[in-house]
Amino acid sequence: MEKLEKNVLGKRQPVKQALTGALAAGMLMLPSVVGVAPVMAQQTQQQRSDNQLSYSELIKKAQNGEVKKVELDETDQTARVYLKQKPETPLRVQLLNQNGELIAKLRQNKVEFGEASSANSRAAVGLLINLMWILPLVALMLLFLRRSSNASSQAMNFGKTRARFQMEAKTGIKFDDVAGIEEAKEELQEVVTFLKQPEKFTAVGARIPKGVLLVGPPGTGKTLLAKAIAGEAAVPFFSISGSEFVEMFVGVGASRVRDLFKKAKDNAPCLIFIDEIDAVGRQRGAGIGGGNDEREQTLNQLLTEMDGFEGNNGIIIIAATNRPDVLDAALLRPGRFDRQVIVDAPDRKGRLEVLKVHARNKKVDPAVSLEVIARRTPGFTGADLANLLNEAAILTARRRKEAITPLEIDDAIDRLTIGLTLNPLMDSKKKRLIAYHEVGHALLATLLPHSDPLNKVTIIPRSGGVGGFSQQILNEEVIDSGLYTRAWMKDNITMTLGGKASEVEVFGEPEVTGGASGDLKMVTNIARKMVTMYGMTDLGLVALENQNYDVFLGRDWVTRNEYSEEVAIKIDRKVREIATECYQEARRIIRENRALVDRLVDLLIEQETIEGEQFRQIVAEYTQLPEKELAKVSQ
């Protein structure tokens, strides 16, 4: 018990927990005591046989002066005899009903004797045994009481908000740490300025937006922007995910919304950040099987709190989503989310700024050009660029280098875009077939005037079944604007079919493999868009198809054809005509440059990778490629 009290005083635990621990210890001690009792009884019997003395021997030893002290126990009719030779080990003697002779001998020989009763120790042992049976029952009762109290407290807090609250958010992120999305930062800077200097806006009658919706694809920095706002604004900050509102029980989500806004009003002015709001803000009353009552009640309560009968002055709501098309129209109207901020993938300048931010804490070799990395990564988001530098740092550590070099950057880009590098192929026949296929792509990418320039071609296999690849430097302006020309599309289709055309021209139709299946899908997709969406054929300037959307709650389950069966037949014919025309053009170019193809294949098998500049120099030697074309593709 003393040890228990020290633990209680030292750790300052609640009294109930200490008592429960003691009771549990008693439960653990009980079976050990019961199990050990027979063994203790056997040991006691053995000790009695070794330390026992007869009544006559006691009298004889008393007469001889060998006895030092005798303790008489009338209750047990025993005596404990301490001899002068062994005063520390008493001997037990069974007494008679009348012990007058013994007492006389003891007095005669001046032996110290007295009475010692064991009734008190027996009573203590009996009480301890009774307590050992009672303690488990008391411990069980306390356990049930504790569980019931926890259940009641959880039931009382079930409808409470789960938002993380900070009086002054210390995220460690400022607007300087967010790069590549300057337009979004400008609009959100107004929110911070209003919270710090509201009179600047109210003086001219301006009203800050009640809600700001951050819209953009995954990884572009929406949550990072919210953290930056929290780090810049010195006001209370609530953060919660949309999925934390919805529960299995109807009404819990609405209760959490009410509790969240109640706390926000008590701490106004403040910020509320709702991440992935599409989890709770989807369109109501649509979809197969009807709507979800719990989700719709939660959304209705959110709409009322944002802009209902009672105002919520001083509360600014920031939400993030990558699915704005599924949100309810009432949630997007002015007065709730007054402003939508598009957080898109950064351009080349933005990617350069993002790379500078993520390269601060990394050892980068001076030979690494962040400008070149930004130019080679069109379409990369901020999260992709951060992952790129992290993968390069991992490769650097694995190769035991002191700083990140251009080689690690190239390998990291290939790993993220193509796949993990595998062991080179050993089978010469398969290796040569893949080499002809990839050289077909690379040669057409170099010779076609409207195709994107070649970056490199390799036959080193990658994870995911990629035997090799031909990589181009994509035109960022075309990708960002989406303004694809008809000439670019046809050259892209021709280049994509170059691998299959090279296999047919070199090995013949019977030896063609299924390696061009992915190429054919890409060709069909581009050709169909030319016919049905861009009006680039003689079917007319009519949009026959719309963009395909994934099936989700709030959209139609079955898509409706927007043209007749007769037009569908014409579309299929036009798609086939475009693909066939480009395929014949690809075969013609391969056939006319067969010697060049053979030399490039031999070089590729030897080196396994050919960079774009070396590839273009070899092509220029054979085809007399104009100098201006070489300069254009080299840029």
Query: Greater confidence, 115 or 82?
Result: 82
Q: Return the number of other C-beta atoms located less than 10 Å from residue 571's C-beta.
A: 19
Measured between alpha carbons, how far is 552 from 557 in angstroms, rounded to an integer?
8
- Poorest-pLDDT segment among 85-99, 279-293, 408-422, 434-448: 279-293
Looking at the domain assignment, is residue 219 inside a domain? yes
Looking at the domain assignment, is residue 361 inside a domain? yes
Q: Shortest CA distance to 313 belongs to which of 209, 200, 203?
A: 209
Measured between alpha carbons, how far is 184 from 193 in angstroms, rounded to an integer?
15
Provide the CATH number for the domain around residue 239. 3.40.50.300
Residue 367 DSSP one-character state: T
Provide the CATH number for the domain around residue 379. 1.10.8.60
Name the most confidently modeled range: 25-29, 459-463, 475-479.
459-463
Same domain, 357 and 219: no
Percent of the chain at pLDDT above 70? 75
Query: Is 575 a residue whose pLDDT tops 90?
Result: yes
Looking at the domain assignment, is residue 591 inside a domain? yes
Same domain, 313 and 352: no
The residue length of the chain stands at 635
Query: Is 33 a residue whose pLDDT tops 80?
Result: no
User: Coil, helix or strand for 502?
Assistant: helix
Q: Select from 342, 364, 389 the last residue of a domain.
A: 342
- Pair of tokens at residue 330: 């009432």
Measured between alpha carbons, how far is 147 from 144 in angstroms, rounded to an integer?
5
Same domain, 595 and 516: yes
**What mean pLDDT do residues 205-228 have?**
85
Measured between alpha carbons, how far is 109 from 58 in angstroms, rounded to an integer?
12
Name the most confidently modeled range: 185-199, 286-300, 332-346.
332-346
Please tell me the predicted confidence (pLDDT) of residue 291: 47
Query: Greater confidence, 565 or 632?
Result: 565
Same domain, 536 and 603: yes
Report the chain's mean pLDDT, rounded to a whole number. Answer: 77
Partners of residue 52 on adjacent β-strands: 92
Please tell me the predicted confidence (pLDDT) of residue 123: 63
Q: What confidence tens digit (pLDDT) does each residue in 582-610 have? A: 999 999 999 999 999 999 999 998 888 89
Name the most confidently modeled range: 118-132, 158-172, 467-481, 527-541.
527-541
Same domain, 180 and 265: yes
Domain that holds residue 477: 428-634
Measured between alpha carbons, how far is 463 from 420 in angstroms, rounded to an integer?
5
Please tell me the predicted confidence (pLDDT) of residue 427: 65
Measured between alpha carbons, how far is 500 from 461 in angstroms, rounded to an integer?
18
Q: Shortest CA distance to 501 belongs to which of 484, 523, 472?
A: 523
Same domain, 589 and 621: yes
Query: Greater confidence, 301 or 196?
Result: 301
Which segments of 467-550 are extended strands (E)? 469-472
Query: Is 12 a residue whose pLDDT tops 70?
Result: no
Same domain, 329 and 447: no
What's the total number of domains in the chain?
4
Same domain, 353 and 337: no
Q: Would you name the residues annotated as active-site residues?
A: 438
Please tell me the predicted confidence (pLDDT) of residue 560: 55
- Poorest-pLDDT segment among 116-130, 404-418, 495-509: 116-130
Looking at the domain assignment, is residue 153 inside a domain? no
Same domain, 374 and 246: no
- Poorest-pLDDT segment among 102-116, 120-134, 356-370, 440-454: 120-134
Angle subtended at Cα 452 by Cα 626 and Cα 602, rounded to the nearest 5 degrees: 75
Provide the CATH number for the domain around residue 533. 1.20.58.760
| Band of pLDDT at residue 579, cut at 50, 70 and 90 | very high
Looking at the domain assignment, is residue 185 inside a domain? yes
Provide the CATH number for the domain around residue 42. 3.30.720.210
Looking at the domain assignment, is residue 514 inside a domain? yes
Same domain, 583 and 560: yes
Partners of residue 609 on adjacent β-strands: 458
Looking at the domain assignment, is residue 325 inside a domain? yes
Please tell me the predicted confidence (pLDDT) of residue 370: 92
Q: Select from 396, 417, 438 the last residue of a domain.
A: 417
Q: Select from 417, 437, 454 the last residue of a domain.
A: 417
Percent of the chain at pLDDT above 90? 19
Q: What confidence tens digit (pLDDT) does each residue in 162-180 have? A: 566 655 556 667 777 788 7
Query: Is 201 a residue whose pLDDT tops 50?
Result: yes
Same domain, 174 and 308: yes
Same domain, 610 and 494: yes
Contact 498, 443 (CB under 8 A): yes
Query: Is 43 a residue whose pLDDT tops 90?
Result: no
Q: Shortest CA distance to 58 belongs to which of 105, 3, 108?
A: 105
Looking at the domain assignment, is residue 355 inside a domain? yes
